[in-house]
Amino acid sequence: MFTDMVGFTALTQSDEAQSLAVLERHNRLLRPIFTRFRGREVKTIGDSFLVEFDSALDATNCAVEVQRFLHDYNVSSRDEWKITLKIGIHVGDVEHREGDVFGDVVNIASRLKPLAEPEGICVSDQVYGQVRNKVPQALVKLEPRDLKGVKFVVEVYKVVMPWERMATAYSQEDRNRVAVLPFVNMSPDPNDEYFADGMTEELIDRLAQVKSLKVIARTSVMSFKKKEKKASEIARELDVGTLVEGSVRKAGNRVRVTVQLISAGREEHLWSSHYDGTMDDVFAVQSEIAEKVAGELKVQLLESEKRTLEKKPTENTEAYNDFLRGRELSRDGSESSLRQALALFEKAVELDPSFARAHVGVAECHQHLATGGYEPTDIMFPFVKASLERALELDPELAEAHASLAYLHLNEDDIPGTEAEARKALELNPSLPEAHRMLFEVAATKGEREEMQRQAETACRLDPIQPTNIGLVGGVYFWTGREQEALEYWKKTEHLAPVQTYSWMTDYYLSKGDIARARESHAKITQLRPTSPWVTYMGGFIDAMSGEREKALLAIKEIEERKMGPIGYNYVACICFALGDMDGYFDNLNLALAEHMLITTEVMYSPLLAKAREDPRYQVLVEKLRKQTRLAK
């Protein structure tokens, strides 16, 4: 990896003393980042670093972190202290001699560096081939370049950084980033809408099994349902190169599916077809469409992927219909919708006890009812575990079951178990944002801030319009001190994820002591989710910070009377903290920890609770947490 400071020569000529001070600061800031990614500094050449890594992935991740760090640093720095770099990365064999390295790889990396934009990174085709499916950033192919002193043409790719993604015009699409747009319901019965939506999601699930593809999750693509937008506009918003769209007509037991593949940048139809059959044929149709899409994108399917694509989830079409209806209802997340969805999943299991995905549906409804505070966890979690064990007994390679099991392990404070199941889920389905959210929680518990951010941003890139993912990214910015970035982010996400955005804004305003604006944000969430336990808890927290002690105590009483289980201890603890009752705060957190329901991210990172982390009891709590989550050595 070669780095080069932009404008350093000009600065040297105009103010040599200042240039030397900037260079010293540049060296001091960057060296610890190289070390974190196992980089070995070979030498400095004026204002440039030459750094060697064991892998292209380490080098790329390090370069991204360097540019991200300097981007944040420059936002708050005076002009004369700003540091802007260009970075070039190539991979290959080198010769070590007298503390230096030699070879074509060094020359090519140095020639790639000037091709990068300020704050940018350029990598060679060899690096692209090793990192393309392993980093969350988009990699955009540039026009072929002749590099000085290099006898052959080197394919060059630009790493798209987070701050430029929204502003960059869509140019060279990554064909293997795919979005399946909502299938249009052409059925005579408008109540069959669920079936068209189900076909959309089933095709997403099947394509996501192909490891060479990155498939945008269902939540984000469904936001474009019935919206009149050009393919290029949708592709730009979702950052994809290929779109799949189609329609479904269901009449009784007969089904007609029409589908087409579109090159997003050129809005060019690559392939189209239609299928006629019965409900009994619908799984074969889904498999054939997925294989056709992969074929058109020149993806070589592995035998294991072919088997997965051809797998039938159930032979019972009535159970399948109930499953689709249940899944549609469960997306809402409200208590009533979850209970209705649970009934449909249970009916699907009754109709076909071997329907593994329906067992996962049952498990997820129980789990969300418990973690949402609507049912006690000690009653719900055994149902969750039994359903997931049955699902994996029926289909050990069901990625969504492993992801749900990761979530259960997280709620049981088993961090190694969470990480193992999340990574297994991603091995089976690399496009599963839920698994990245679990790895975010793992990183948070371990105290790995950079990894927290990486996993949150990866989940959001796979499902960019999903409210939970949107909230997670903004929350990480807030928790890690990037407040200005968080505020700018929330301005963009208010209309996409109002509940999550207003929640974080409430926390932010409270951290600044702005009670009035905190109440405004809280009131907006109250209108959207009046029965949410969070609304009660945060109302009590705000009252406590306002000095309205009696109101805060009433909120605690309401939380206790709702009998929402151990998760309520977290809410009571935070209100106690706001009241200045540190004994009550730690007593309730210890009760939550004992019941495996401590909300660790809030306790460890929330600026609202920063003062509590100065109390000696906090370190005792963390040590208990490490032992309980099996992280203690």
β-strands 100-102, 242-251: how paired?
Answer: unpaired
Min mean pLDDT across 429-438, 500-509, 558-567, 618-627 is at 558-567
Which of 423, 447, 464 is the C-terminal boundary of a domain? Answer: 464
Most confident of the following: 244-253, 398-407, 595-604: 398-407
Is the pLDDT confidence value at 172 over 70?
no
pLDDT-derived band at 542 (thresholds 50, 70, 90) equals very high
555-588 burial: b if 16+ Cβ within 10 Å, else e: bbebbeeeebbbbbbbbbbbbbbbbebeebbbbb
Residue 492, phi then psi, degrees to nearest 5: -80, -25
Pairwise CA distance, residues 117 & 438, whole Å: 34
Q: What is the DSSP letter of 147?
A: P
Chain-centroid distance of CA 38 in Å reads 25
pLDDT-derived band at 577 (thresholds 50, 70, 90) equals very high
Is the pLDDT confidence value at 253 over 90?
no
Query: Residue 348's domain is classified under what CATH number?
Result: 1.25.40.10
Amino acid identity at 134: K
Pairwise CA distance, residues 72 & 538, whole Å: 31
Number of helices (H) and strands (E), helices first, in the chain? 29, 15
pLDDT tens-digit readout, 513-532: 999 999 999 999 999 988 88
Within a domain: residue 323? yes
Contact between residue 272 and residue 261 where contact means Cβ atoms under 8 Å apart: yes
Within a domain: residue 186? yes
Nearest to 357 by CA among 329, 322, 383: 322
Pairwise CA distance, residues 208 & 112, whole Å: 33
pLDDT tens-digit readout, 19-70: 888 888 888 889 989 988 888 888 888 888 889 988 889 999 999 999 988 8
Three-state secondary structure call for residue 180: strand
Pairwise CA distance, residues 6 & 47, whole Å: 9
Q: What is the gyration radius of the CA atoms in the chain, in angstroms?
A: 26
Pairwise CA distance, residues 516 & 324, whole Å: 44
**Which stretches of 512-615 are DSSP H helices?**
515-528, 533-545, 549-561, 567-579, 582-594, 600-605
Pairwise CA distance, residues 506 & 554, whole Å: 20
Within a domain: residue 171? no
- The length of the chain is 633
260 and 370 both lie in a single domain = no
In terms of pLDDT, which residue wins out, 150 or 9?
Answer: 9
Taking residues 403-425, what's their average pLDDT?
92
Name 256's bridge partners: 249, 276
Within a domain: residue 579? no
In terms of pLDDT, which residue wins out, 220 or 279?
Answer: 220
323 and 277 both lie in a single domain = no
Min mean pLDDT across 149-158, 339-348, 488-497, 622-631 is at 149-158
Taking residues 148-165, what's their average pLDDT?
74
pLDDT-derived band at 149 (thresholds 50, 70, 90) equals low
Neighbouring CB atoms inside 10 A of 427's CB total: 13
Is the pLDDT confidence value at 632 over 70?
no
Chain-centroid distance of CA 370 in Å reads 23
Query: Residue 48's domain is classified under what CATH number?
Result: 3.30.70.1230
153 and 15 both lie in a single domain = yes
Amino acid identity at 263: S
The mean pLDDT value of the chain amounts to 86
DSSP codes, 444-461:
HHHT-HHHHHHHHHHHHH
**pTM score over 0.75:** no
pLDDT tens-digit readout, 324-348: 889 888 877 788 899 999 999 999 9
Q: Two tokens at 88?
A: 């070039």
pLDDT tens-digit readout, 229-243: 777 778 878 888 888
β-strands 139-141, 156-159: how paired?
Answer: antiparallel
Is the pLDDT confidence value at 294 over 70?
yes
Q: Two tokens at 230?
A: 């050009």
In terms of pLDDT, which residue wins out, 89 or 235?
Answer: 89
**Structure confidence at residue 350 (pLDDT):** 95
**Structure confidence at residue 11 (pLDDT):** 75
Is the pLDDT confidence value at 166 over 60?
no
Within a domain: residue 353? yes
228-242 burial: b if 16+ Cβ within 10 Å, else e: eeebbebbbbbbbbb
Within a domain: residue 248? yes
81 and 186 both lie in a single domain = no
Query: Residue 224's domain is classified under what CATH number?
Result: 3.40.50.10610
pLDDT tens-digit readout, 255-286: 888 888 888 766 677 778 777 877 777 778 77
Q: Two tokens at 41?
A: 């500094």
159 and 130 both lie in a single domain = yes
Spatial CB neighbours of 294, under 8 Å, sequence gap ≥ 6: 207, 210, 212, 213, 301
Pairwise CA distance, residues 248 & 279, whole Å: 12
Pairwise CA distance, residues 606 & 618, whole Å: 13
Helix (H) or strand (E) holding 338: helix 335-351
**Structure confidence at residue 429 (pLDDT):** 87
195 and 141 both lie in a single domain = no
DSSP codes, 68-127:
HHHHHHHHTS-GGG---EEEEE-----EEETTEEESHHHHHHHHHGGGSPTTEEEEEHHH
Pairwise CA distance, residues 214 & 403, whole Å: 17
Pairwise CA distance, residues 571 & 478, whole Å: 20
Within a domain: residue 546? no
Which of 431, 464, 497 is the C-terminal boundary of a domain? Answer: 464
Min mean pLDDT across 119-128, 223-232, 359-368, 559-568 is at 223-232
Amino acid identity at 152: F
Give the chain's largest Cα–Cα span. 81
In terms of pLDDT, which residue wins out, 316 or 267?
Answer: 316
Contact between residue 391 and residue 357 where contact means Cβ atoms under 8 Å apart: yes
pLDDT-derived band at 564 (thresholds 50, 70, 90) equals confident
301 and 326 both lie in a single domain = no
Within a domain: residue 387? yes
Residue 311, phi then psi, degrees to nearest 5: -70, 135
Which of 296, 312, 328 is the C-terminal boundary of a domain? Answer: 312
Domain extent, residue 144, equals 2-165
42 and 127 both lie in a single domain = yes
What is the tally of structural domains in the chain? 4
pLDDT tens-digit readout, 92-118: 877 777 777 777 778 888 888 888 888
Pairwise CA distance, residues 378 & 1, whole Å: 52
Q: What is the DSSP letter of 143?
A: P
Pairwise CA distance, residues 496 & 493, whole Å: 5
134 and 59 both lie in a single domain = yes
258 and 321 both lie in a single domain = no
197 and 103 both lie in a single domain = no
320 and 308 both lie in a single domain = no
pLDDT-derived band at 152 (thresholds 50, 70, 90) equals low
**Structure confidence at residue 170 (pLDDT):** 36
**Which stretches of 209-334 are DSSP H helices?**
218-222, 231-238, 282-296, 303-310, 317-330
Whether the CA torsion 135, 140, 144, 146 is positive or negative: it is negative
Pairwise CA distance, residues 235 & 224, whole Å: 11
In terms of pLDDT, which residue wins out, 85 or 231?
Answer: 85
Taking residues 152-167, what's their average pLDDT?
71
